[in-house]
Chain A
Amino acid sequence: MSSENKIYFYPLWLRIWHGINALGIILLIVTGISMNSGFEDSLISFKLIITVHNYAGVIITLNYLLFLIGNMVTSNKKFYIVKPKNFLKRPMKQAYYYAWGMFHGMKAPYPLSEKRKFNPLQKYTYIAAMYLIVPLVIISGIGLMFPELIFNKVYNISGVLITAVTHSAMGFFISIFLIVHLYIASIGKSPLDNFKSIVSGWHHV
């Protein structure tokens, strides 16, 4: 669906998923950092922070299922398919554009269209985030919520340690992803244009 120079990139289910995910992830990052750094005298009690983190985690997990099912039953899945041809060259070209080309009058190497919702760099990052990092953070999160499920020891290493470190590390990568994601989103027609798109569903090309 498109009209003039606009493409309807983000259907309603995707926008709802994205909205819940955004709020949930922000809550999880804030409460996660708060727990892990052990701030004793924070405004909110430690117990409440844990409760918020647990509830937000469960909501994000259910929401992730919405993302998976949505991608399974709609045509949105096609945007996550990677072509083996020029597997590394394509994202490198996009990175070169962001770092150098865009300041030197170069045109975007992979302009977005009905067939291409993500540029190669974006696609790779989203695949890593949604199909590797988020599943790991969910699995390790379930492990920490029900520690009796965790293996006591893997070789000589505490199972809780592995689970907790995996959870923190993946949480950290998601935080970095969020920062970069928000910044890259500001590189649009105007700095706020892409933010409006994810609310309305229509993307300016």
Chain B
Amino acid sequence: MKYFIPLQILMLLTITLKSFGQFYDDPKSHDCLKCHSQQTYAFHNDMMDTEEKRLMNPYLIIDTIRLRTGVHQNFDCTDCHSFDYTTYPHAASLKLEPMMTCLDCHAGDESFAKYEFEKIDEEVNKSIHRQSFGDNFTCSKCHNQHYYSTSARTSSSVMEIVENSNAMCLSCHNDMKKFSLVSGELKSAIVDIHDWLPNQELHFKHVRCIECHTAVEDDLMVSHNILAKEDAVRRCAECHSSNSLLKASLYKYQNLQKRAEDGTALGMLSNESYVIGSHQIPILKTISLIIFFAALAGIIIHVIFRIIIKKK
């Protein structure tokens, strides 16, 4: 009897842990994933009374490993997709039905209030993406709802944040097929367009595309008003200055900001990204001013003595 309560707690914990992402634990026995996680799928053709095996459309194959680590790992497919998809063959009309949108869940919910999804929606509406492509430009064009995971506010690595953010842009801007879906053009010549940018590779690895291509919005974690290319930042000094634009964008996250502004020797040394002109190191500044004024004072005192001696 004395083990009864601890045993109950242990059972409860086991159940809780098990329920975490339980839908995708065994894709082969999941109603949707048994087909949608495979290259091929098999079904019984009632009309012909035959067993058939076909190739799965590669765009409809889900990466179950990434799905298990995404922010929506605790949701089942039919939480967002129509329940009617549970029957096969899927009804043709399902393709024409409106899909669930992100804001159906994320808007107007207290628990998401701090992320300001309504504000994000307003910003997206102003952006060149929505202006040019209308309502077809949905959140999921950048944020893959199956695999999305946060890094901007959680990671302490600038490189990781930059890589994840830029991957979103490049998923279309570096993919001819996806790019043509919204632009009609077949080629997105990113390297050529950014030919003017010195040390292009270094910039692409250390700053996000959105640093130059969005209007800074102080209220939002990530600015969503993507500007037309004519309005993108082209002046080096916008970032490479003491009043750097990056402080209002990339370095505004608390996880990075603390280090970016840390002028102590330790803070300086743990800072993996250094922006010339923007990251002033206060301690070195102070030391250099002391040396400068000491030299100047020495010279002035020496001059005074020389003048005095000469007059004598």
What is the CA–CA distance of A7 and B271 in the complex, to the nearest angstrom?
Answer: 54
In the complex formed, the residue of A with least CB distance to B268 is: A161
| Contact residues in B for A180 (Cβ distance below 8 Å) | 295, 299
In chain A, positions 121-179 with a C-beta closer than 8 Å to chain B are 144, 147-148, 153, 156-158, 160-161, 164-165, 168-169, 172, 175-176, 179
Q: Is B278 an interface residue (CB 8 A)?
A: yes
| Contact residues in B for A75 (Cβ distance below 8 Å) | none
- Interface residues of B, CB < 8 Å — how many? 35
Q: Is B150 an interface residue (CB 8 A)?
A: no
Choose among A36, A47, A147, A176 the residue that contacts B277 (Cβ–Cβ < 8 A).
Answer: A36
| Contact residues in B for A37 (Cβ distance below 8 Å) | 242, 277
B196 to chain A, nearest CB (A): 10
What is the CA–CA distance of A46 and B276 in the complex, to the nearest angstrom?
Answer: 13
| Contact residues in A for B288 (Cβ distance below 8 Å) | 169, 172
Q: Is B292 an interface residue (CB 8 A)?
A: yes
Q: Is B240 an interface residue (CB 8 A)?
A: yes
Question: Is A161 within 8 A of B236, CB to CB?
Answer: no
Q: Is A14 an interface residue (CB 8 A)?
A: no
Chain A proximity mask over B88-108: 1 for CB below 8 Å, otherwise 0: 000000000000000000000
Choose among B201, B237, B268, B291 the residue that contacts A40 (Cβ–Cβ < 8 A).
Answer: B237
What is the CA–CA distance of A187 and B269 in the complex, to the nearest angstrom?
Answer: 43
Q: Is B244 an interface residue (CB 8 A)?
A: yes
B288 to chain A, nearest CB (A): 5
What is the CA–CA distance of A160 and B158 in the complex, to the nearest angstrom?
Answer: 14
What is the CA–CA distance of A164 and B280 in the complex, to the nearest angstrom?
Answer: 11
Question: Is B299 within 8 A of A147, CB to CB?
Answer: no
In the complex formed, the residue of B with least CB distance to A175 is: B292
Interface CB pairs A-B, < 8 A, 10 = A35-B277, A36-B276, A37-B277, A38-B241, A40-B243, A46-B237, A103-B305, A148-B202, A153-B272, A158-B274
A: residues with CB less than 8 A from B are: 35-40, 46-47, 50, 98-99, 103, 144, 147-148, 153, 156-158, 160-161, 164-165, 168-169, 172, 175-176, 179-180, 183, 187
B: residues with CB less than 8 A from A are: 198-199, 201-202, 235-237, 240-244, 268-274, 276-279, 281, 284, 288, 291-292, 295-296, 299, 302, 305-306, 309
